[in-house]
């Protein structure tokens, strides 16, 4: 898409959002008035005010960067969001659709007719079209593909053939390619003829006549070297490159590690087919850590904060239902010991402490491990060492805090043996929490799942049922 000049603004983004909300509210007041006084004679004045408000809002929106409009759309509830969306100049629709989150994009697309969608999509590059295509109505996609030339169509098809977590789905095709047997002077003249360079062009790609990647020419080297030198003398051979079926997250880590701005994507025979840029990688890093947070809490996907209640319910039900089952199992564990509880009702009051501390400690361990796995720091070679460390931490925590709460139990109920059972149960449950905090994410990875998936729900299930069983079991053995 065309590049947008980013201008400095005196207002922060939050201020600008507040201004938009303010205009929307004034708007609504006017609408209410107009509505109430319908049929009366002063509605002409009202409708003038109405119009003036909208014009002011529209002017404000025209000044904003598409990314800022996207932010404002995301922060508005549905009705206000659509009011703003209709005021946005239609030639900016495409840019904005590419910036908003998936959840918000769906609400915007639902509000557009086929004609508007086609117009918005027409200005997009192949890789941007491929991003959007899965969410567009089928016949719109069909019509779009027909307007493309053969090369573009092929690129969209290719991008769509990869999973969204593969490099092939994220690469773009805006590469500047040069030959190695020309002088830098020739390259400089060639660039001048192009009139515009693609965004994030920090290097040019050096290819041979078959399109094979021979190296890259960093713009920095182009600028500081003698123009009479040949490209081959100055270029970097053997640069970091990616394959379209590489894992996109690995690529993002490489960008982060090697401070890359762009990198070539080549096929199996080393033919240049596209490039990755840092902006896509930053988005990916952000999304990845977001999905980790959401997964740990048992949420399926990012939720537009103004999503309908129904959408929210669907997002949250899967893990709530699983939690219901695990809570029921924990309840049945307690049911096994109803006899003991009837004899010593203090057990009912103390048992949630054992389960609760186990849950907290287990969550700390599992968070640590999931983090380390995301950073590729856990390997089969160090698993047993990690496990020993977590068990040692738990043992100490169990003895120390279990000891404290054991003394408290003695003070409350006047029984030393009850205090000792408490300390023992805490220690054992914390050891169980450490063991499962390491094993659960590792098992999930071995099963090919995301290690963060519902981690919190699962570890809590184990420490609840386990805690109740250990505490009530020990109590039944030693106190009954």
Sheet of 177-178: strands edge to edge? 177-178, 203-207, 213-218
- Binding of residue 131 to its own copies (CB under 8 A): no
Residue number, 39 or 339, with CB nearest to its own copies: 339
- Binding of residue 328 to its own copies (CB under 8 A): yes
Give the integer Cα–Cα distance in Å for 215 and 207: 7
Residue 396 in tokens: 């100490």
Q: Per residue, what are the HEC states of 354-399?
A: HHHHHHHHHHHHHHHHHHHHHCCCCCHHHHHHHHHHHHHHHHHHHH
For residue 142, the Cα-to-chain-centroid distance in whole angstroms is 29
Among 360, 407, 450, 479, binds its own copies (CB under 8 A): 360
Among 49, 232, 408, 479, binds its own copies (CB under 8 A): 408
Residue number, 160 or 407, with CB nearest to its own copies: 407
Pairing label, strands 272-277, 177-178: unpaired
Give the integer Cα–Cα distance in Å for 185 and 225: 10
Give the integer Cα–Cα distance in Å for 392 and 398: 10
Residue number, 110 or 188, with CB nearest to its own copies: 188
Orientation of helix 455-479 relative to helix 416-446, angle to 10°: 150
Contact region with its own copies (CB under 8 A), list: 38-46, 110-118, 145-153, 192-200: 192-200
* DSSP string computed for 425-463: HHHHHHHHHHHHHHHHHHHHHHTTS-TTTTHHHHHHHHH
Please say whether the beta carbons of 205 and 190 come within 8 A: no
- Binding of residue 411 to its own copies (CB under 8 A): no
DSSP H or E run through 175: none
Residue number, 269 or 379, with CB nearest to its own copies: 379
Rounded least distance, CB 223 to its own copies, Å = 5
Rounded least distance, CB 165 to its own copies, Å = 17
Give the integer Cα–Cα distance in Å for 200 and 412: 67
Residue number, 168 or 298, with CB nearest to its own copies: 298
Please say whether the beta carbons of 168 and 247 come within 8 A: no
Rounded least distance, CB 148 to its own copies, Å = 25
Rounded least distance, CB 25 to its own copies, Å = 8
Rounded least distance, CB 382 to its own copies, Å = 7
Positive or negative, the CA dihedral 361, 367, 370, 376 is negative
Residue number, 76 or 156, with CB nearest to its own copies: 76
* Residues 443-462, interacting with its own copies (CB under 8 A): 456-457, 460
- Binding of residue 201 to its own copies (CB under 8 A): yes
Residue 53 in tokens: 């408000």
* Residues 379-398, interacting with its own copies (CB under 8 A): 379, 381-382, 385-386, 389, 392-393, 396-397
Size of the site for its own copies (CB under 8 A): 137
Which of 421, 430, 416 is CA-nearest to residue 357? Answer: 430
Backbone angles phi, psi at 239, to 5 degrees: -75, 165
- Binding of residue 476 to its own copies (CB under 8 A): no
Give the integer Cα–Cα distance in Å for 457 and 2: 46
Residue number, 50 or 314, with CB nearest to its own copies: 314
Among 359, 424, 441, 466, binds its own copies (CB under 8 A): 359
Residue number, 141 or 265, with CB nearest to its own copies: 265
* Residues 27-86, interacting with its own copies (CB under 8 A): 65, 67-68, 71, 74-77
Among 2, 139, 149, 194, binds its own copies (CB under 8 A): 194
Residue number, 136 or 455, with CB nearest to its own copies: 455
The binding track of 134-173 with respect to its own copies, each residue x by CB under 8 A or -, is ----------------------------------------
Q: Cα torsion at 293, 297, 298, 303 (round to 10°)?
A: -60
* Residues 214-253, interacting with its own copies (CB under 8 A): 219-220, 223-226, 236, 238-241, 250
For residue 286, the Cα-to-chain-centroid distance in whole angstroms is 5
Length of the chain equals: 480
* Residues 253-312, interacting with its own copies (CB under 8 A): 255-261, 278-279, 281-283, 285-286, 289-290, 292-294, 296-299, 302-303, 305-307, 309, 312
The binding track of 412-431 with respect to its own copies, each residue x by CB under 8 A or -, is x-------------------
Rounded least distance, CB 33 to its own copies, Å = 21
- Binding of residue 357 to its own copies (CB under 8 A): yes
Rounded least distance, CB 150 to its own copies, Å = 28
Rounded least distance, CB 198 to its own copies, Å = 9
Rounded least distance, CB 43 to its own copies, Å = 28
Among 97, 120, 248, 355, binds its own copies (CB under 8 A): 355
Backbone angles phi, psi at 478, to 5 degrees: -95, -20
Residue number, 199 or 414, with CB nearest to its own copies: 199
In terms of C-beta density within 10 A (0-12 exposed, 13-18 middle, 19 or more buried), how is residue 300 classed? Answer: middle
């Amino acid at each position: 898409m065309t590049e947008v000049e980013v201008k400095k603004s005196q207002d922060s983004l939050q201020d600008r959002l507040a201004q938009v909300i303010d205009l929307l509210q004034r708007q609504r007041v006017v609408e209410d008035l107009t509505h109430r006084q319908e049929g009366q004679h002063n509605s002409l004045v009202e409708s003038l005010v109405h119009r003036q408000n909208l014009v002011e809002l529209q002017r404000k929106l025209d000044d904003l960067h598409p990314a800022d409009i996207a932010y404002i759309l995301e922060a508005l509830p549905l009705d206000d969001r659509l009011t703003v969306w209709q005021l946005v100049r239609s030639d900016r629709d495409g840019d904005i659709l590419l910036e908003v989150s998936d959840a918000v994009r769906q609400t915007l697309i639902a509000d557009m007719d086929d004609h508007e969608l086609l117009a918005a999509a027409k200005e997009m590059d192949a890789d941007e079209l491929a991003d959007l295509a899965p969410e567009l109505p089928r016949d719109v996609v069909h019509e779009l593909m027909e307007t493309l030339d053969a090369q573009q169509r092929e690129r969209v098809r290719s991008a769509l053939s990869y999973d969204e977590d593969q490099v092939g789905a994220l690469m773009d095709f805006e590469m500047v390619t040069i030959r190695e047997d020309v002088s830098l002077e020739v390259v400089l003249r060639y660039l001048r003829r192009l009139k515009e360079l693609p965004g994030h062009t920090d290097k040019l790609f050096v290819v041979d006549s078959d399109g094979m990647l021979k190296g890259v020419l960093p713009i920095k080297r182009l600028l500081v070297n003698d123009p009479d030198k040949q490209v081959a003398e100055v270029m970097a051979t053997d640069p970091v490159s990616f394959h379209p079926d590489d894992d996109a997250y690995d690529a993002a880590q490489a960008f982060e590690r090697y401070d890359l701005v762009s990198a070539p994507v080549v096929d199996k025979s080393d033919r240049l087919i596209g490039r990755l840029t840092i902006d896509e990688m930053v988005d990916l890093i952000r999304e990845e850590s977001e999905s980790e947070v959401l997964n740990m809490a048992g949420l399926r996907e990012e939720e537009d904060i103004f999503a309908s209640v129904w959408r929210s319910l669907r997002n949250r039900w899967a893990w709530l239902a699983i939690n219901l089952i695990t809570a029921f199992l924990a309840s049945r564990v307690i049911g096994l010991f109803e006899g003991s509880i009837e004899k010593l009702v203090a057990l009912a009051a103390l048992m949630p402490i054992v389960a609760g501390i186990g849950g907290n400690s287990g969550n700390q361990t599992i968070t640590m491990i999931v983090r380390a796995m995301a950073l590729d720091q856990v390997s089969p070679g160090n698993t047993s060492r990690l496990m020993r460390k977590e068990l040692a931490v738990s043992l100490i925590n169990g003895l120390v805090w279990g000891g404290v709460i054991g003394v408290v139990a003695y003070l409350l109920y006047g029984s030393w043996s009850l205090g000792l059972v408490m300390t023992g149960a805490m220690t054992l449950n914390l050891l169980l929490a450490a063991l499962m905090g390491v094993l659960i994410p590792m098992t999930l990875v071995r099963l090919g799942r995301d290690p963060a998936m519902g981690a919190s729900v699962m570890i809590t299930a184990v420490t609840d049922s386990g805690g109740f069983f250990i505490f009530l079991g020990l109590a039944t053995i030693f106190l009954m």
